[in-house]
Amino acid sequence: AKGSNHLAGCAVDIRCYGIEQAIRYATILLDYADESKQEFDELFIEKNKYGRYWVHFAVRPKDNRRKIAFLYG
């Protein structure tokens, strides 16, 4: 999408084999951010209409919002 953090190299989508793996990856990212005191902009567990899951993780150079959500497509 226009203006996406992906286009600036500031976001990644991690494909997962089910919700359990998505939760594990999200937990690792949250723990790392907390322990290293690194801010992030978005951490989403997403699911599309076909039942596929992924973790979306994004950072910004500044003004990170630390948005966390579980989204269904």
CB 64 within 8 A of CB 72: no
Q: Is the pLDDT of residue 73 over 70?
A: no
Summarize pLDDT for 17-30 with one digit per residue, the tens. Answer: 999 999 999 999 99
CB under 8 Å to 62, separation ≥6 — which residues?
none
Q: Given the DSSP bridges, would you call strands 42-47 and 53-58 parallel, antiparallel or unpaired? A: antiparallel
Mean pLDDT score across all residues of the chain: 94
pLDDT at site 65: 95
Helix (H, G, I), strand (E, B) or coil at 63: coil
Summarize pLDDT for 43-67 with one digit per residue, the tens. Answer: 999 999 999 999 999 999 899 999 9
- Residue 5: other Cβ atoms inside 10 A: 17
CB 45 within 8 A of CB 22: yes
pTM comes to 0.90
Summarize pLDDT for 27-36 with one digit per residue, the tens. Answer: 999 999 999 9
